[in-house]
Structure 1
Amino acid sequence: MAKNTAQQNPADELAGLRRRIADLEKAEQVRHAGEALLASIIGGSPIPAFVIGRDHRILYWNRALEELSRIRADEVVGTNQHWRAFYARERPCLADLLVDGALKAIPTWYTGKYIPSKLIDEAYEATDFFPELGEEGRWLRFTAAVLRDAGGSLVGVVETLEDITERRQAEEALRAAHEELESRVRDRTAELAKANLALKETTEHLSLILESLPIVSYSRQAEPPFALTYVSATAREMTGFDPERFLEDPGFRESRVHPDDRARLPQVPKARRHQGRSEYRFRIADGSYRWFSDYWRLLRHSGGPPPQIAGVWQDVTEEKRMRQEAELRLQQMIQTHKLTALGEVVAGVAHEINNPVSFISYNIPLLEEIWSAVEPSIHRLGEIDPRWKNRDVKPEEIIRHMREIIEAFRVASNRISRVITNLKEFSRSDERSTRMKPLQVSEAVQGALLIVGGQIRRTVSTIEQRIEPDLPPILGNIQKLEQVLTNLLINAHQAMPGGGRKGRITVSARSVPRLDAVLLEVEDNGRGIPRENLGHLFDPFFTTRRDSGGTGLGLSISYGLVREHNGLIGVLSRPGAGSRFSVFLPVEGKTLPKVLPSILCLGTDLEFLGTLKAALVEVETWEAGSGIGAPTVLKYLDEHPEVDTVVTERNLPDLDGRDLVKAVRNRFPLVEVLLCASEEEVRQLSAEGATGEILAKPSAARRLQKILEEKGRLRL
């Protein structure tokens, strides 16, 4: 008898085997889908690339690499002969060394030609000449990066290549021209007149080359006050300012550099340091910021004039943008794989929950019908049974409570059904779900709250919704918008301080007709974001919570999803007060105009308003006449969400500036609001015990600039 019990039923064994086979088939389908997606991304990339597996065999060989190497993919895929594209004899490529984990062997094969990647973990970059490529050989810059699965196991290595032959040839040509110039000077020293003429001609030639290149060449003093002594005419094309502006005003260049980047400006050369490079944001004439790369070299003249610094500025905005977009595409691919796996789990959970919930939902009407039949009996029992009179509970109360319980069952089952429906929507991964179609932003808000509302209510006591009715539709994908909102809500939830203080999150959606856009905002009263972190907030992998599991992908993925909707995302944060994330989405069929941070200045002193306008180009002045009250200003701020600072005179025709300051702070707690008055009024207000900083004329413009640098602006 014991022996029969220990033996497993053959039917159970067969059923278990079938389940395992089904699980294996499902995992194989997911793997094939992931491989197809990766093959599509790599195959369609304009960047030459190939991928090898753990066995060094080629998995992918894209069309761009076919054109570069003249080797077709069908000739090498599945083999370990990728070396044929680059070398005459078989030898390991950089990708092979990473597959084997032979990092110590990299210097042996690429001595003086490689560096660890500063952008990607477990990746290396190298530059080398390949004589086997093309007719005369090619210079390539290549990057190899390790690919790991969700469990952290190595699955292969991807190697991308960039043809820099023309750039190297240009460098060699410039070096050859320089050597030729030195040779001519040495050979013709005796012929002073001819040497001067040759030097003049060569100088003019080099100047013409510099003026034609997309760079600004400059020179400056190597000692205090470090003033610029020369700026090339290309400054006009690159910055919109004449070279004279830089030469006449020693502080002009620094004043146009972003406040957060001024520490990166080239300073006094340190001992034994004769050259350097830095990058910073420079505000050009149209008010926008561009990334400049500043290369400089210290020039010393033996027995001649004092040493000088010569350098060039180069606009690298597009290069940085392309690099960031490439990183973001990689992270989106990784996130897609994660969401696919998560979707399968969610679909399974939703299915398991749906069965018992369906049972409950179907039986609630039956329970209600049975109870309706029982109620008269309870009434009669209460009337004829004297024991009911001695009890604390009356039959009427039992009947009422039971009806409330049945109704609670109905409400709860409906809510669970809505959650299941939302989970099923989240788990859908067919192509139709990625198409853009007209949708209501309010639906995305409700979907996101349904997904993460329960989680964030653990630290948030209030989730306030300010959804404007009858919003115009936008063209988008509701699942992607839900993902953006989910990330922003979780980010706000995680920003809440400890110590038991409950937080508040406000989710708002309103139409902004002047921008042809719908504005989504998620605002919290949490810790806020330090100024030094704001510039990196949307960078992939940037996180301040890595020790607690933060990946730094949520906001970068949200940035990419908003860009897919042709929208704009920005953040306004005040440390200790909270943060507000704003998402501008164009109305269906419209194009979002350029949006820049703005300052609103109200007053009656036209000369003062003009001074602020001249000092800060982003100022919008408003001559406050009669009839202007706080509601008018609040309406203006609703219609102009890019305003992050308000400056108002104390004495307005029909309004006390102090009342306006209170009204704006109550409605927009993160907007910086400042009162401005004459020096006499400032002394009077101080004597009356006024709190907060008050700008004093006529130096208010300079003080306002410092306040903005200290507290930061809206980042868009």
Structure 2
Amino acid sequence: MNPSGRILVIDDEAGMREAVGDVLEAKGFVVGRAVRGAEGLEQVRTMGFDAAIVDIRLPDVSGVELLKSLRLASPDLEVILMTGYASLPTALQAIDGDAFAYLVKPFEMDQLVATLKKALDRQHLARALRESEERYRLIAENINDAIFLMDTQGRLVFANQRASAITGYTTNELIGRPIFSLLTPEGARRVLERLGSAVSDQDSTAVFETHLLKRDGVLVWVEANMTNVRREGQVVGRLGVLRDISERKLTEQQMRLQTGALDAAASGVVITDRGGAIIWANPAFTSLTGYPVSEVMGRTLRLQKSGQHEPSFYRSLWESILSGQTWRGEMVNRRKDGSLYPEAQTITPVHDERGEITHFIAIKEDISQRKRLQEHLAQSEKLAAMGQLLASVAHELNNPLSVLTGHAAILKSTADPKIAQRAQKMVTAAERCGRIVRNFLALARRQPAERTRVALNQVVREAIELLAYQFRVDNVELRLELADRLPALTGDSHQLHQVIVNLLSNAHHAVHETPRPRSITVTTRPTADDRGVALEVADSGPGISPEAQERLFEPFFTTKPLGEGTGLGLAICKGIVEAHGGSLAAVSEPGQGAVFRMELPVDETAAETEASEESAEPPVRGQTILVVDDEPELAAVLAEFLAADDHRVDTAENGVAALDKLREATYDLIISDLRMPQLDGPGLYHEVARHHPRLLRRMIFVTGDTLGPESAEFLRESAAPTFGKPFAPADVRRAIRQVIHAR
């Protein structure tokens, strides 16, 4: 096969120029000719040649000088110098000028042709090498990971643009820098261990996570994958691929803080051709979707369509990626088993060297847990708003309930037994209303946990009272087997109330769809060693599978349909019980219902039981008391209570009026509502501290709702006795005794 190539011959000697040109043309080369250096340089610039054969002595310029100009005009041009005046300095100049060869006239034409072929071979090899390097460079510079190449001492000899973006250093600044200068001391120690293992060939591949120290001093989490680089069987360096996982780490940290512990799921990665046919998928894709990679090769991601999106959704997606844009969004997809799940997906077009889209890369992530967390946060916000509303409603309800219970208590003291019996019914009904209000407030409560003496049976009854209507409507038989004289606990009654309501609600959900008879049994008893109390909630539902039992208390795990549960209820319940030093467990056989058992320790210092009553003490009498409340009826009832115990009573409608009364008269005690117009209870307390400090420890406050954080903090700081609305005469007497005995 004849050689091919464009060759330029530059020589002012016509005979030599034509002889060389004729020989090369006979060999199949395309030959150009030039007499002067400037003429030859112009032809190279305008016509392009693969090689030039140049006489070293030309009329206008030396061949060595021309060599430099030719290399600038055409870096790929191979140059062969020829001369009839050979000298060592000239040869050295030719070599320094990067000439391929230096021939001395006279020479054989076969020698020239052979030399020319070698020059062209070198040129073709160099071009192929550059093209190969360009392909790898495109991969290295467009991949979303940082790539480092290190020698065996850990010094960087290559870094891609992503490495520059992650570290904040330019690529030039990275070259020659020790890798451990980019790491924390602990990270540097681990890398040095890996490098030492690499040199001794004990560990050819290492994958680990560490902190990377950016140029501005900020620490970012990276995942590093390090592999030996070998040449002729010897380890000559280390290739490191770093991925910035800061966002993933931040998400993990936030999830851990809110739920205790969550693992980050690996993302599925899929590569398709321009038409969407799958040509590659990673193992995480199989874990995410249930489809083996071999089963989806050549198919499109339409196999995951859920039917939850309109055709316009997919049209918009394709319009975005076909226009060269990266698409990011969320969709509902279908797994191989038919189950639906929410997915966050990023689809990035891949372009060739002409800018044409050839492939798409899709990164897929299951966001079921994130969606459930968002649901939980949304429900928490709604609950907080409901709590604020209920606090106001409770204040408005408790005031008339206090008036009702007060008048009923006064009627009970009459001589007519029929009237007293009717009054007791009024008191019972009003107290039930008060408990319902308190139960609702307990569910929406925002203040910190408070440990007090707790009667577990009473907490159970209040929780049942809250849910009794739902049980009746759904024909659920509720059986109570509550032990008598159950030992008292020390705990947060509101939190325990929340646990019991959740267990009862779950039991109700379990039996809701089952055929009648439906039943829920609540049992309380001392533990076998009498050092604690146990509560069991048993249902006649379908039971819990062994697989579900293993994950029952995991955050975000739920057996309810999508949108009907956050999967946080039992996790929160378990956390509350364990914070009380107890345990919560479930026992179930499929088809046999389920039993949830809670055990709590008994406070050994409190030997009292739920049946024990506070010892009766005679009421304090003969005090001069100022009652401050913006509800006239409530103030009147309270004044009548106090007058029955021989107290002298004045009333004031708010804190401002109370200060006027204090300036006019002397009082032994002040009983004040917390929430009032013009000047509320805390405001009155601070004014009394300034002008009547002797009464500061003789103030009693009445609360009409679940305390907010500010009110709770005020009462903690003031240490003032309190009683809540609706109240009974015994509550008032207890608070008065507390003040009098504290003098």
Same fold, TM-score > 0.5, yes or no: no
Which has the greater radius of gyration? Answer: 2
Q: TM-score, normalised by structure 1?
A: 0.33
TM-score of the superposed pair, with normalisation by structure 2: 0.32
